[in-house]
Structures are given as structure tokens and as C-alpha cells.
Amino acid sequence: MTIFEAAVLGVVQGVTEFLPISSTAHLRIVPALLGWTDPGAAFTAVLQLGTLAAVLAFFAPDLVGIARGALAAVVDPARRRDPQGRVAGYLIVGTLPVVIVGVLFKDAIRGALRALPVIATALIVVAVALAVVEKLARHRRAFEEITWSDVLIIGGAQALALIPGVSRSGITILAAMAIGLRRDAAARFSFLLSIPAVAGAGIFEMKHVLHSNVGAVPMAIGLLAAGVTGYASIAWLLRFLRTRTMFPFVGYRIALGLLIFGLLAGGLLQA
């Protein structure tokens, strides 16, 4: 992999990781359109460490408060109901489904599920679900009103994001809105919930990348590009969702899915 390819893929990762349009799908589609070799699921997972750094930097004050709340809850059981203390537990419990599913279906995730017809189908199906939820959901509940049952629902939805094209942020925001959270609250919890899952996947897959043809310099460039653009993407989406709906992303997902099917049918892409 060249430095230029790594930089482009890093930007793609950073821009699409937090938008509900599937970073994994774009990291599969962009190389295919440009005639590059598929970087593989391992490279995709490690590249997400760049966007993990973006989340950690953007939400640093929140994470400090969560850590302090968790520590206070350990020291004083009476503090376990404090909002900050609960969030740490939410992130742990909400991550369990994706860990379990990731371990059970790791071979399919690295192989068959990366096929372009699967990605195109997932893009369109989730787009339709997102449109339905956007139209019918109440959008009233604040971040502070999240409960343990909400966490199980959103965490279960996050496991579906192991299918390329679903979008981790897309499916978790969708699930959060479906149970009544405001759009910006849903996005905020989605981003925080990504931290343990992305960190675990990136660290687990690092050994595969180290034994691949991706050099240290291209990998570093890709991570840097993903981190910088990821930070900007988080800031933009949170501002956007305070006043706008998810329908622009619905249209984009459907258009991209149909484009992939069209290019496959025309022989311009290989599944």
C-alpha cells in the first residue's frame, strides 16, 4: 500500500466513521472503484484507531467525568446511581453484544460479509429503517434519561454493524432514536459507545496488519488522516443533528446502494 492510498483511506475512514453511512462500506467501495487492492477487514479495524483518538480528544471532558463517577461509585456504593457513574457501566454492558458476535462470526466478517452485494443491500435496508424511525420517533428524551434497558437495545444494534454497509453509528443512532432519544443525544451516546468496541477491534486486528504488506509509514499516515478528519466529522454531525433530520443520509445510502448494484450489473465492479 502506498502512502497516498493510506492517506485517502484515512480521510475516508475519518469522514464516514461517524456519519451514518458506513465507513467499512466506503473502505471496501473506494478501493474497488479506484482499482486498488481491498485493504481487508484487519486494516479497516486498525484504521479505526485513528477515529478512536478523535473520539477521545473530542469527548475528553466527558470521559474525565465518567471516570471520576465510576471511581466514586466503586469507593462509595451510594454513588452508583449518579449519572456519571452509570455511563461507565453503560459503555461496558453496551459493548458486550458486539464482542460476542464478533468472536462467533469473525471469519464471515473478514470474508463473505465484505462482498459488495451484501454491502449494497445493507446500505439500502438500513436507510429505509432509518427513514421510518426518523418519521415516527418522538425525539424527546435527553442523554441523561438513558436507562439500562436502552443500553441493551442500543448495544444489541451495535452488533449488527459488524455487517459492512450497516454503519455502527447509523444503527446505534437509529436504535437510540427508536426508543425516544433526541437526535443529538443518540449521536453522543453512539460516539461514546464506540470507544471500547473500536479499541478492542483495532488492538485485536493489529497483529494481522503487522504481518501484511501495509508498511509502518502508510499505516501512520492513515491513522493521522483518520484522526484529524474524524474529529471534524464528530463536531459537524453533532451541530447538524441539533436542527436537522437524518433524511439526507437516507437518500445518500439508497443512492450509493443502487449505484453499487448498477456497477456490479454492468461489470464495472467485482463482487
Q: From 28, 67, 96, select the one nearest 269 (Cα to Cα).
A: 28
* Entry pTM: 0.87
**Is there a domain that residue 234 lies in?**
yes
**Is there a domain that residue 223 lies in?**
yes
> Across all residues in the chain, what is the average pLDDT?
88
Domain enclosing residue 205, as ranges: 3-265
Least confident of 81-90, 112-121, 173-182: 81-90
Confidence at 1, pLDDT banded by 50, 70, 90: confident
Q: At what angle do helices 60-75 and 183-210 cross, to 10 degrees?
A: 90
Number of compact structural domains in the chain: 1
Backbone region of residue 22 per phi and psi (left: phi > 0; alpha: psi in -120 to 50; beta: other values): left
Q: How far apart are CA 202 and CA 191, in angstroms?
A: 16
pLDDT value at position 213? Answer: 67
**Is there a domain that residue 64 lies in?**
yes
Confirm if 51 and 226 have CB atoms less than 8 A apart.
yes
**Is there a domain that residue 19 lies in?**
yes
Share of the chain above pLDDT 70, in %: 94
pLDDT, tens only, 94-153: 999 999 998 888 888 777 888 889 999 999 999 999 999 999 998 899 998 999 999 999
**Is there a domain that residue 271 lies in?**
no
Confirm if 180 and 139 have CB atoms less than 8 A apart.
yes
pLDDT value at position 84? Answer: 73
**Is there a domain that residue 177 lies in?**
yes
**Is there a domain that residue 23 lies in?**
yes
**Is there a domain that residue 194 lies in?**
yes
